Structure 1
Amino acid sequence: MSGGTPAQPRATHLGDFQVRPRMLLIALLAVPVGGAAALAALALLKLIGLITNLVFYQRFDTALVAPGAAAHPWWLVLFAPVAGALVIGLMARFGSEKIRGHGMPEAIEAILTGESKIAPRVAVLKPVSAAVSIGTGGPFGAEGPIIMTGGAVGSILAQLLHLSADERKTLLVAGAAGGMAATFNAPLASILLAVELLLFEWRPRSFVPVAAAVLTSTLCRGFLLGTDPVFGLPAAPAPGAAADVLALVPGITGGLLAIAATALVYLAEDGFARLPIHWMWWPAIGGLAIGAGGLIEPRALGVGYDVIDQLLTGRATTSLIVGVLVVKTLIWSLSLGSGTSGGVLAPVFMIGAALGAAEGGLLPHVTAGFWAVCGLAAVVGGVMRSPLTGIVFTLELTHAWNDLLPLVVASVSAYAVSVLLLKRSVLTEKIARRRLHLTREYTTDPLETFFAHEVMTANPVVLTRGETVYETLPHSRHATLYPVVDGQDRLIGVTTRHALLTCAGRTVADATTPAHATCHPDDTLREVANKLATGHVTQAVVVDREEPARVRGVVTLAQLLHARRRDLHEEHHRERVLAVTRIPVTSSSATSSRR
C-alpha cells in the first residue's frame, strides 16, 4: 500500500554527500599512488628494453628496441620466446599464479571477489614476468602488466591503512589508471578506461581520486619520458563527410576482426586446457608458436611501437601490413591463450592499424595513415568493448584531433558489431569462465529516483506501550510491523503480531524491541534499502526528520519494488503517445476534389 503523502517532483539526490570528506582523503592518497605508478611504468619499460637488448642484441642497454629490427639467427628467433615462457611458467607455478594473463581480468577479479586486495609479491612478479615475456619476443604490450602493477601499488597502500573495500578499490584503480597514463601519455583515455572497465560505477567518491592519480602520473611522465604523443601525426585538415561515412568500413570489419581475435584467444585457451600436461608448460608451447611466427614476420615480435608508428604514418609496406595482420593476430591469440604474461592494448593497436592500412589501398586517399588510425580505434572499440576509450585513446596517441568524427563512426560501429555478434569481450569472457558475473551496462538506479514518502504506508497502526495485548490484537491482523510509542506519541520501538501473541496477558511494552532501521520521508529508496540491509530487517519505520520520535509511516522491502516496477514499465511498455487524426472527407469536398 502506497502512502497518502502527495507525490512531489523527484529530484537528483547525491547519496555520497556524507562521504565527501572520505573522498578528499582518498584523493590525497591517490596522488602518491599516481606518482608510484609512473615510476613503475618507467621501470617496466626500462626492464623490457634491457631484456630485449640482452637477448636479441647481446648488449647492455635499456632503450626500447624492436626484436625484429635487425637480422638474427633463426634459432634465436625460434627459441628465445620458448625460454622466456619457461621462466614465466616457473614464476607462476612457484611465485604466484596471478601473474598469468594480460592483467586486466586479474585486476577485475581482485575487485569483484578479493575485496581489492592484491598480494605484494604480485607487484614485483607481474612486471618482471611481463618484461621477460616481451623482452624475449612476446607479441604483447606493457599496459596490462602496468595495470596490474599500478593496481597492486594502490591496493598495498590501502591495505596498510584503515580503509573500506570500496576505498581499496578506488586506490587500486587509481594506480592502474595512473600506470596507463604514464605508459601512453593518455590521461583522459586512462580515466575512461578506469570507468568503462574497472570501477563499475561513475561516482564522485571514486572518479575524483582516480583523476587525481592520473593527473599526477601524467605530470611525472612529462619529467621521466617527455610530453610528446606516442604516435604523433602531423596536423591535417578535417577529412570531410565522405570519409566520415566510409569510416563504417574499418568500423564494421574491425568489429568482425575483434570477434575473430577473441574467438581465437579462447579457442587456444580451451585447447591448452585439454593438454595432458601441467599448465606451467603451456606458455612454452605458446612461445614456440611465437618463435615460428617470428621466422615468418620478425616485426610481429615484441611491443611493436615502431611498427605501429609506421602503420599510422603511412610508411608501412604491403608485406609488413599483411604480415602483421595475419602473423601478429595468430601468435598473439595463441600465446595469450597459453596463459603467459603480457598486455593486449599494444597488439590491438598494431592489428587494428594494419587492418585500416590494408583497407586504405581500396578506399579513397585522405591523408597518410588516416585509415590506419580509423582501424586502430575500431579494433580497440570492438575487442575491449570500450568505444569511448577507443576514440579518446586514438586521439591522445596521435593528436589527430580533426579525425574525431570518423573515429567515432569507426569505434562505435565496431562496438555495435561486437555486441550484436559476440556475447562477451576478451575481458568479460575470462571473468565469466571463472563463474563471475560482470555487467558492462550503466543505468540510473531506480531506487535513487523515488523517495520513501512516495511508497510508504502512511498513518500505520501505532500501538501504545501501556496497552494490553488483548486490546491490540484485533487491530494487528493486516500489518506485520507496528511502531510502538509512549504516552507522548514518541517512538520507543517496534513489535510484530507474532511477538504480541507470545506475550498474551501482558502489555505491548513486553513485546517491544528497538527499531533496527528508521528512515526519513525524503530519503531515497536506495538509502532505505541500505538501512534495511544494515539493520538485517525487511521493514523500517519512517520518522520525521525534524522530530525523530514522530512516526510518519512504515516502508517495507516489498514497497521498494515499486521503483523497480516503474523502471521495468518504462523499459518494456510500448504505447503510442501522439496519434494522427484523419480528417473526414465531406461529400461536398469530395465533389470539389473530383472537379
Structure 2
Amino acid sequence: MQHKADFSVDRRLFRQVLLAAVIGALAVGAAAVLLGLIHLCSNLFFYQRFSFANSSPAQHQLGLWVIGLPVLGGLIVGLMARYGSSKIRGHGIPEAIEAILFGQSRLSLRVALLKPLSSAIVIGSGGPFGAEGPIIMTGGSLGSLIAQRFHLSAAERKTLLVAGATAGMTAVFGTPVAAVLLAVELLLFELRPRSLVPVAIACAVAGFLRPLLIASEPLFAVQTAPVGPEALFGCLVAGIASGLLCTLLSWSLYRVEDLFGKLPLHWMWWPALGGLAIGIGGYFQPRALGIGFDVIGDLLHNHLLLGAALALLLVKAVIWVIALGSGTSGGVLAPLLMLGAGLGAALGHVLPGDHGALWPLVCMAATLAGVLGAPLTAVVFALGLSHDLNALLPLLLTVTVAYTVTIVIAKRSIMTEKIARRGLHIYREYSVDPLERHEVSEVMSHAQVPLAAGQAFALPRETCRAVAGRMVALGLESLAVVRDAQSREVIGVVSRSDLLKGTLAVHQEESLA
C-alpha cells in the first residue's frame, strides 16, 4: 500500500528557491536605493543640499515656507500617478494583495520604478509615512517581473512576488522571521512548502545581506525588566486601548477618503491637498514630519514629556490620516509604530508598576496587529525590532487582546477595506481544503463506463481538488477513472457530487450535536 505524503512537493520547488534567493538579494539593493532616495529628497527639500546623509526634517530653518514643501511633493506625485501609473497611489500592501488575488500576481516594471521614486518624494518632502509599503510593492514587482520572465504559473508568480515583498521588508527593518509571518498571515493565503520555503529563503538571504548596505543593529533596541503576574491587568488594558485605537484609525481613514472622493477635483490633485495638511501640521510639530524612527526611539525610552508626546502624536495621526486618505504614496507601518508607542507611553503614566519601555513596546505591536490583522507578525516584529525577550509574554497577551477587539468590532482591516471598496471581497481565514485531503479512489463509484479516444480522465491517486478543477475547466459533470495513464483501464467513474463527499466531515465538525 502506498502511503500519502504530508505535503505536495515537486522538483519545480528547487527552481523557485534559486530564484527567490536572487530576488532576496535584489530586494536589499532596492531597499538601499529607496532609503537613499528618501534621504536625498529630504536634504533637497528641507536643506537645499545634494546629500544622501540621513537628516531629520525637524531641524529645518524654513519657517512658514515648510508648509509648501509637502504640497509640492504631493503635486509631483499626483502627476506621476496620473501620467505614469495609478498603481503607485496608496501604501502598497493592499495593492500587492489585490495583484496576488485578482491580478494573477502580475506587476509591471513601471510600478517597480515609479513606486520608490514617488514614495521618496512624498516622504522626503515631509510625508508622515514609512518606507516599508513602497519597498513591499517594489520588491514584489521585482519578484513578479522575474517570474514573468521565466514564464512561471500564476501560483509560482505569487510566491516570488511575496518573496520579493517580504525580503524588502526584511531589508528595511531587519526582521526576517516577522516578514515570513507577514507573508503567511497577509499575503500568501496558503501555508504550503511550495510557497513558504522560497519566501523564507528570500528573507534569510535579505537578512544576511542587509548589513552590507543598510545596517546590522536592531532599530529600537530596548531592555525591559522581567515582568510577573502584576502586569496581567496592564496587558489587558493596553490591548483593549490599542484595539480601539486601531478601529478609530481605520474608520477615520476611510471617512477622509470618502470626503476626498466627493471633491469636484480630479484625484491627481488630492495628494497636494493632503500635502497642505501635512505642511500645516509640520509647521506646529516639526517632528511629525517624515518617517519618525527617532521619535519612536524617544517614546520607547521615555524621553518625551507626556504633554509634548500627546501633542506630537495627535498631529501625526491627523496628518497621516488626511495624507493617506488623499491617495498619496507611502507606507503605514512606521506611523502605526509611532502612534502605538505613543499610546503605550501615555498608558505608562496610569498603569500600575514601573515597567519603563514595556507599555510603549507592547502597544506598538498591538496597534500593528489590529490594523494589519496579523497578530503573530506583530509579536515577532516587535521582538525583532527590540531584541527584548523579556517582553514576549506581555506582547503575546496584549497583541491577542487588541486583535480580538478589532476583529469583533470591524469587518475589515485597513488593508482589506480599500480592496473591498473596489467590489472585491477577501476572506482571510483558511484551513486545509477537504478536497485536498481526499483522493479520487476514496470517493469514486466503481461503475464501468467506456472511455472514448481523447477523452479526459482521472487517476486514482489524484486529489479531489485537482480533479474538480479539471472538471470545471472542461465543463464536465464526471470523469472516467483509469488505473494508470499507460493502460487506461477504466476502473470507475467520479462525479462532481462524489467529490463533495470529503466535505461531510467538515460539516459534521461545524454542526452542533
What TM bracket, shorter-length normalisation? over 0.9
SS for the counterpart of 2:107 is: coil
Find the partner of 1:193 among 172, 182, 189: 182
Q: 1:95-174 alignment to 2 at 5 Å?
A: 95-174=84-163
Residue deviations 1:337-373, cap 9 Å, x none? Answer: 1000000000000000000111000012343211000
Q: Which residue of 2 aligns with 1:480?
A: none
Q: Which residue of 1 aligns with 2:478?
A: 539
Q: TM-score, normalised by structure 1?
A: 0.83
Letter in 2 for 1:559: D
Number of aligned residue pairs: 513
Find the partner of 1:238 among 220, 226, 244: 226
Find the partner of 2:12 among 4, 16, 22: 22
Letter in 1 for 2:8: D
Q: Which residue of 1 aligns with 2:48?
A: 58
- Alpha-carbon separation, structure 1, partners of 2:327 and 2:4: 46
Q: Once the 2 structures are TM-superposed, how far is the Cα of residue 233 of structure 1 from its aligned partner?
A: 1.1
- Alpha-carbon separation, structure 2, partners of 1:11 and 1:354: 55
- Alpha-carbon separation, structure 2, partners of 1:270 and 1:126: 24
Q: Once the 2 structures are TM-superposed, how far is the Cα of residue 64 of structure 1 from its aligned partner?
A: 2.3
Contact 1:238-1:402 within 8 A present in 2 as well: yes
Q: Which residue of 2 aligns with 1:392?
A: 380
CA RMSD of aligned residues (A): 1.9
Q: Once the 2 structures are TM-superposed, how far is the Cα of residue 515 of structure 1 from its aligned partner?
A: 3.0
- Alpha-carbon separation, structure 2, partners of 1:73 and 1:251: 40
- Alpha-carbon separation, structure 2, partners of 1:454 and 1:52: 64
- Alpha-carbon separation, structure 2, partners of 1:106 and 1:76: 34
Contact 2:64-2:283 within 8 A present in 1 as well: no
SS for the counterpart of 2:218 is: coil
Find the partner of 1:415 among 391, 403, 412: 403
Residue deviations 1:81-113, cap 9 Å, x none? Answer: 111000100111111111100011111122122
Find the partner of 2:284 among 296, 318, 325: 296
Contact 2:36-2:52 within 8 A present in 1 as well: yes
Change (3 A) 1:537 1:14: farther
Find the partner of 1:35 among 25, 44, 64: 25
Q: Once the 2 structures are TM-superposed, how far is the Cα of residue 537 of structure 1 from its aligned partner?
A: 2.0
SS for the counterpart of 1:247 is: helix
Change (3 A) 1:15 1:531: farther
1:227 matched to 2:219: no
- Alpha-carbon separation, structure 2, partners of 1:362 and 1:250: 11
Find the partner of 1:267 among 248, 255, 263: 255
Q: Once the 2 structures are TM-superposed, how far is the Cα of residue 551 of structure 1 from its aligned partner?
A: 3.1
Change (3 A) 1:523 1:155: closer
Q: Which residue of 2 aligns with 1:518?
A: 458
Q: 1:78-97 alignment to 2 at 5 Å?
A: 78-97=67-86
- Alpha-carbon separation, structure 2, partners of 1:36 and 1:546: 43
Residue deviations 1:173-197, cap 9 Å, x none? Answer: 1111110000000000111111111
Find the partner of 1:281 among 253, 259, 269: 269
Q: Once the 2 structures are TM-superposed, how far is the Cα of residue 438 of structure 1 from its aligned partner?
A: 1.2
Letter in 2 for 1:134: I
Where structure 1 has 5 or more consecutive residues not aligned to the other structure, the ranges are 1-7, 463-482, 485-492, 494-511, 576-595
Residue deviations 1:548-576, cap 9 Å, x none? Answer: 544332111012222223312211x222x
- Alpha-carbon separation, structure 2, partners of 1:378 and 1:416: 10
Q: Which residue of 1 aligns with 2:294?
A: 306
Structure having the higher helix fraction is 2
Contact 2:127-2:275 within 8 A present in 1 as well: yes
Q: Which residue of 2 aligns with 1:432?
A: 420
Higher mean C-alpha displacement, 379-388 vs 534-543 = 534-543
1:455 matched to 2:443: yes
1:329 matched to 2:317: yes
Letter in 1 for 2:270: W
Contact 1:27-1:208 within 8 A present in 2 as well: yes
Q: Once the 2 structures are TM-superposed, how far is the Cα of residue 224 of structure 1 from its aligned partner?
A: 1.5
Residue deviations 1:209-242, cap 9 Å, x none? Answer: 11111111111102122321011113x4421122
Residue deviations 1:243-287, cap 9 Å, x none? Answer: 134211111111110011011111111100100011000011111
Identity of aligned pairs, percent?
48
Change (3 A) 1:536 1:71: same
Q: Which residue of 1 aligns with 2:196?
A: 207
- Alpha-carbon separation, structure 1, partners of 2:353 and 2:211: 35
Residue deviations 1:98-142, cap 9 Å, x none? Answer: 110001111112212222111111111100100000011100000
Q: Once the 2 structures are TM-superposed, how far is the Cα of residue 315 of structure 1 from its aligned partner?
A: 1.4
Change (3 A) 1:12 1:293: farther
Where structure 2 has 5 or more consecutive residues not aligned to the other structure, the ranges are none
Q: TM-score, normalised by structure 2?
A: 0.96
Higher mean C-alpha displacement, 56-65 vs 203-212 = 56-65
Find the partner of 2:494 among 523, 538, 555: 555
Change (3 A) 1:359 1:30: same
Larger radius of gyration: 1
Residue deviations 1:148-175, cap 9 Å, x none? Answer: 1111111111221121111111111111
Contact 1:151-1:172 within 8 A present in 2 as well: yes
Q: Which residue of 1 aligns with 2:336?
A: 348
Q: Once the 2 structures are TM-superposed, how far is the Cα of residue 535 of structure 1 from its aligned partner?
A: 4.4
- Alpha-carbon separation, structure 1, partners of 2:312 and 2:490: 71
Contact 2:27-2:167 within 8 A present in 1 as well: yes
Change (3 A) 1:560 1:43: same
